[in-house]
């Protein structure tokens, strides 16, 4: 197949491009590099089955030739990034998703939206099943991301119902691995890099909030299973192994050492208190569940950052 990956120079997008190339597809990655980097796809340069287009998906998208499928991942994803780029985040979720859906219609291609657990906001139902409608503050600082993704989901389903487009919606939960940016502010690269540098680990709030971390190869496998299924979703893709942020900081210190202490900083506004995916749907309908343990996934990620930081 010939497949477009928007956000293809980002963290998850670049791993998805690798998998698609490995499986023999032709891949076009499209990215404006606002939070991504060509470093993530440098190893694919020169591959005749890979092509990169530097473009902002909120503007009319032109891709020559046919396309069979579009994975739409373009969007800032780290809370620090979407607070730095609030308008761009709203625009890419709304206008960018509209342009990408229009392209899918024009090319008669299937379409997968990379949505997020943030559509559940600060959830009042735990763990989160797909039929939970969420608890989002539309005017809070995180609203720029949460509402953009909620709009993107609604738009994708409207294209499915009105135009008959083949649509798949994945709600991705916290995913980590090599190629995250050391300074993107997300807790996994933050704690790993702090520990590797011997700095204190900055736990926000009292650290009792929970997250469930999924290794990137598992997330990519989930996206592919969903894309090639006959199920529009939405489907949660994440690892149900839940821990508090404080436990995660302690795990990092025991795995890396470094001599730093745990220090507490204010909790960001609307930071969800709990998050854990109910993955019954993915298990039964896609035959998918995460395979990589936290210890193994963190091992790969720590090695990546050790090399990246020249330590
Ligand atoms: P990332 O920031 O590494 O990747 C996003 C990519 O999109 C970047 O390369 C960026 O430059 C590009 N991009 C942003 N706006 C664009 C625009 N207007 N035009 C073209 N390209 C644009 O983040 P990621 O973690 O790889 O996330 C990828 C996708 O997965 C995002 O849509 C995100 O919302 C979703 N997601 C990620 C997670 C996670 O834990 N990593 C969780 C839930 C959802
Ligand atoms: N967090 C933290 N210290 C940091 C970065 C993040 O305690 O240096 C917390 C953050 O407040 C949140 C959790 O870790 O409760 C996960 O944050 P992240 O930015 O990775 O993603 P989120 O799940 O909030 O989208």
Mutate to test the pocket of ligand 1, among 73, 152, 233 (most ligand atoms within 8 A of CB): 73
End-to-end CA distance of the chain: give it in Å, rounded. 41
Q: Is 33 in the pocket of ligand 1 (CB under 6 A)?
A: yes
- Measured on CA atoms in the order 27, 67, 61, 90, is the torsion positive or negative? negative
The SS3 call for residue 86 is helix
Residue 17 pLDDT > 90: yes
Q: How confident is the model at residue 258 (pLDDT cuts 50, 70, 90)?
A: confident
Burial class of 77 by CB neighbour count within 10 A (0 to 12, 13 to 18, 19+) = buried
Confidence (pLDDT) at 191: 97
Q: Full-prediction pTM beyond 0.95?
A: yes
Parse the chain into domains and list their residue ranges: 2-177+214-240+277-292, 187-208+242-275+295-308
pLDDT tens figures, 75-93 = 999 999 999 999 999 999 9
Ligand nearest to the CA of 174: 1
Domain topology for 187-208+242-275+295-308: UDP-galactose 4-epimerase; domain 1 (3.90.25)
CA proximity to 202, closest of 185, 217, 216, 215: 185
Q: Does domain 2-177+214-240+277-292 have CATH number 3.30.360.10?
A: no
- CB-ligand 2 contact for 195 (6 Å cutoff): no
Give the nearest ligand 1 atom to 33 CA: 11
Reported as a single tens digit per residue, the pLDDT across 80-128 is 999 999 999 999 999 999 999 999 999 999 999 999 999 999 999 999 9
Consecutive H or E run containing 29: strand 26-31
Whether omega for the bond prior to residue 177 falls within 30 degrees of 0, making it cis, is: no
Contact 22, 121 (CB under 8 A): no
């Amino acid at each position: 197949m010939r497949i477009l990956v928007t956000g293809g120079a980002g963290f998850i997008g670049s791993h998805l491009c690798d998998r698609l190339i490995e499986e023999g597809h032709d891949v076009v990655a499209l990215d404006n590099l606002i939070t991504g980097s060509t470093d993530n796809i440098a190893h694919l340069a020169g591959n005749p089955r890979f092509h990169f287009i530097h473009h902002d998906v909120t503007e009319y998208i032109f891709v020559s030739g046919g396309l069979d499928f579009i994975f739409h991942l373009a969007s800032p994803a780290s809370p620090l990034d979407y607070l730095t780029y609030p308008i761009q985040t709203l625009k890419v979720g709304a206008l960018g998703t509209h342009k990408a859906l229009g392209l899918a219609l024009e090319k008669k291609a299937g379409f997968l939206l990379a949505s997020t657990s943030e559509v559940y906001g600060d959830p009042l139902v735990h763990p989160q099943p797909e039929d939970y409608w969420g608890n989002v503050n539309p005017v809070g600082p995180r609203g720029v991301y949460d509402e953009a993704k909620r709009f993107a989901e609604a738009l994708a389903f409207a294209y499915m119902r009105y135009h008959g487009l083949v649509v798949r919606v994945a709600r991705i939960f916290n995913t980590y691995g090599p190629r995250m940016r050391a300074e993107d502010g997300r807790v996994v690269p933050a704690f790993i890099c702090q520990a590797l540098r011997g700095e204190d680990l900055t736990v926000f709030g009292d650290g009792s909030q929970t997250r469930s971390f999924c290794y990137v190869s598992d997330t990519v496998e989930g996206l592919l299973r969903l894309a090639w299924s006959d199920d529009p979703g939405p489907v949660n893709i994440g690892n149900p192994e839940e821990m508090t942020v404080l436990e995660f900081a302690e795990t990092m210190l025991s795995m890396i050492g470094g001599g730093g202490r745990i220090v507490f900083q204010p909790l960001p506004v609307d930071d969800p208190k709990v998050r854990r995916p109910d993955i019954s749907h993915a298990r039964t309908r896609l035959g998918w569940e995460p395979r990589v343990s936290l210890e193994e996934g963190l091992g790969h990620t720590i090695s990546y950052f050790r090399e990246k930081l020249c330590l």
